[in-house]
Amino acid sequence: MPDPPQTAAQRVAEFVVDTDDLPADVIADAALHVLDTLGCGLAALAMDEARFVLDAVTEIDSSGPATAIGLADGLPADSAALANGTLFHALDFDDTHPDSVVHVSATTVAAGLAAGEIAGATGRDLITAIVIGNEISTRVGMAAGGRFHARGFHPTGVCGVFGATATVARLRGLDAATTANALGIAGSMAGGLLEFLADGAKTKPLHPGWAAHCALNAVRLAVHGATGPATVLDGQRGFFATYMHGERADIEGQVADLGVRWETPNIAFKPYPACHYVHAPLDAMASVIAEHALSADDVASVVAVSDETGVGLVLEPLADKLRPRTVYDAKFSLPYCLGTMLVHRRVDVGSFNDAAIGDPAVLDVASRVSYELKAYAPAPDAFPGGVRVQTTDGRTLEAELRHQRGGTKNPMSADDVIAKFRSNAALALPADEVDVLATAALSLHEQPDLEALRVLGRAATTLGAPAA
């Protein structure tokens, strides 16, 4: 009798175990994403954006073998993964894979750093495991075609737990059967709701941290004999069947070319610390300002243009978006972000604090913003959007970006990403340690161990954060 066909999780498990020689460009791209992610976490620490997670994890465990940003004595591995993953995402400045709408690196880097330190991994071990995890997170998200948002799920949490588990399984040297069990266990831990949009609550930053935390525990349970369903992804009561409410998801097609097609280079960097759907309209507004020497006083009204997902995230309900209730709420308010760009000519980490979101001049401009829904043709690597500005002297000024800056169709250069890292990291580390971390991350595949990354534990908020 022939063997039954492999399930998607079994195919993923084989990829986790068997993948070794990564293309050089994939390694280079992944190293830049590691660097960017670490910088985002350091800036979040400096801005005191996720103090709650550090206080929570140190309530029980005040020390441990795994590095945690801002905690010199470290933490147990799963607690470090929770803390770091939350900090990486806390400013919403970390990378996103457009087709899956997953914040990929926040989860895989958090899980990989903790697991790698415990395993005594080399830098090459870690970067390989991170790429493997990236490939799984993105494919699980791509199989749903961006429809998790419509169901109320945050893809970073629900998809990221599978990628993080793949990363940890690789670093622990699991065989394919045990890896498949770990993935099956992780499926029962997949979670993350978009309900934070209702009032600007800070649950969203927890999603990558919790996914990384769950990954460490799913792998540990599998190592000690716990089993998970091999059909966790494609079964009748599996992940897609339940989370997609019976809509078809092409996970088989997504895992069929693992190791042939690489999605890691398609992960997009962020030039702004806010939801990716505000980026194209912000750059469109910046171009209008630059071309026409526009000031806030020149603007009678603004129409923001976005697609259906963008409207649901950053423009509706419009009354709430016109006056953000919390700092995190402001990161999902396109009217606020456009107002900030018009008034201050910039949107950066200093644009999101309690004082900034109450700026009367910004809120006045935000009150003049409405929106228009546009059905863009589907395209990879795209969070499209634009603006149409009506001036007080009767002119109509328009600009639009089909592909947001930071993705493969409109890229940030390596120098741009490194400059972003240095600006972020300098908020929490002295210049010499910023240099050490930059060198270690960019040459991670050549590092004999992960010792240089322990500088993260020495980060502090005492260097201050930029004023609004």
Going by pLDDT thresholds of 50, 70 and 90, the confidence category of residue 464 is: very low
Who wins on pLDDT, 375 or 220?
A: 220
| pLDDT tens sequence across 231-286 | 999 999 999 999 998 788 999 999 999 999 999 999 999 999 999 999 999 999 99
Q: How many other C-beta atoms are found inside a 10 Å radius of the C-beta of residue 52?
A: 14
| Average pLDDT estimate for 212-233 | 98
Residue keyed to tokens 């010499």: 432
| Average pLDDT estimate for 348-362 | 95
Is 201 in the same domain as 106?
yes
Judge whether 348 lies within some domain: yes
Determine the Cα–Cα distance for residues 231 and 353; give it in Å rounded to an integer. 45
| Pick from 172-176, 196-200, 252-256, 258-262: least confident | 196-200
Is 192 in the same domain as 50?
yes
Q: How many other C-beta atoms are found inside a 10 Å radius of the C-beta of residue 426?
A: 17
Is 236 in the same domain as 193?
yes
pLDDT at 452 over 80: yes
| Average pLDDT estimate for 53-65 | 92
Q: How many other C-beta atoms are found inside a 10 Å radius of the C-beta of residue 227?
A: 14
- Per-residue DSSP letters for 400-431? EESS-TTBTTBPPPHHHHHHHHHHHHTTTS-H
Is 162 in the same domain as 253?
yes
Determine the Cα–Cα distance for residues 116 and 126; give it in Å rounded to an integer. 6
Domain of residue 357, CATH code: 3.30.1330.120
Judge whether 330 lies within some domain: yes
Is 219 in the same domain as 331?
no
DSSP-H helix ranges across 172-205: 176-187
Judge whether 418 lies within some domain: no
| Average pLDDT estimate for 409-431 | 97
Helices (H) and strands (E) in the chain, counts: 19, 6
| Average pLDDT estimate for 118-142 | 98
Is 163 in the same domain as 17?
yes
Write down which residue in 355, 377, 401 finishes a domain.
401
Judge whether 2 lies within some domain: no
According to the model, what pLDDT value does residue 404 have? 94
- Residues 342 and 290: beta-carbon distance below 8 Å: no
* Longest CA span, the chain: 80
Determine the Cα–Cα distance for residues 173 and 362; give it in Å rounded to an integer. 53
Give 408's contacts (C-beta < 8 A, 6+ positions apart). 265, 266, 268, 381
Judge whether 412 lies within some domain: no
Is 287 in the same domain as 228?
no
Judge whether 298 lies within some domain: yes
Judge whether 56 lies within some domain: yes
Is 231 in the same domain as 108?
yes
Write down which residue in 359, 383, 401 finishes a domain.
401
Judge whether 343 lies within some domain: yes
> 129-144: buried (b, 16+ CB within 10 Å) or exposed (e) per residue?
bbbbbbbbbbbbbbbb
Going by pLDDT thresholds of 50, 70 and 90, the confidence category of residue 462 is: low
- Residues 313 and 385: beta-carbon distance below 8 Å: no
CA–CA distance from 250 to each of 11, 140, 143, 187, 243 (Å)?
14, 9, 5, 17, 14
Write down which residue in 376, 401, 426 finishes a domain.
401
| Average pLDDT estimate for 331-344 | 97
CA angle 363, 323, 203 (to 5 degrees): 135
pLDDT at 324 over 90: yes
Is 121 in the same domain as 246?
yes
Its pTM stands at 0.94
pLDDT at 19 over 90: yes
| pLDDT tens sequence across 62-112 | 899 999 999 999 999 999 999 999 999 999 999 999 999 999 999 999 999
Q: Please tell me the total count of domains within the chain.
A: 2
| pLDDT tens sequence across 145-156 | 889 998 999 999
Would you state the structure tokens that stand for residue 226, as one six-digit string? Answer: 């716990």
Give 334's contacts (C-beta < 8 A, 6+ positions apart). 277, 278, 281, 304, 306, 310, 314, 315, 321, 369, 371
Is 129 in the same domain as 44?
yes
Is 296 in the same domain as 198?
no
Could you list the residue range(s) of the whole structural domain that residue 252 is in? 8-266
Who wins on pLDDT, 9 or 466?
A: 9
Domain of residue 49, CATH code: 1.10.4100.10
DSSP-H helix ranges across 91-154: 104-119, 123-143
According to the model, what pLDDT value does residue 461 have? 72
Is 145 in the same domain as 237?
yes
Q: How many other C-beta atoms are found inside a 10 Å radius of the C-beta of residue 149?
A: 16
Give 377's contacts (C-beta < 8 A, 6+ positions apart). none
Determine the Cα–Cα distance for residues 50 and 77; give it in Å rounded to an integer. 18
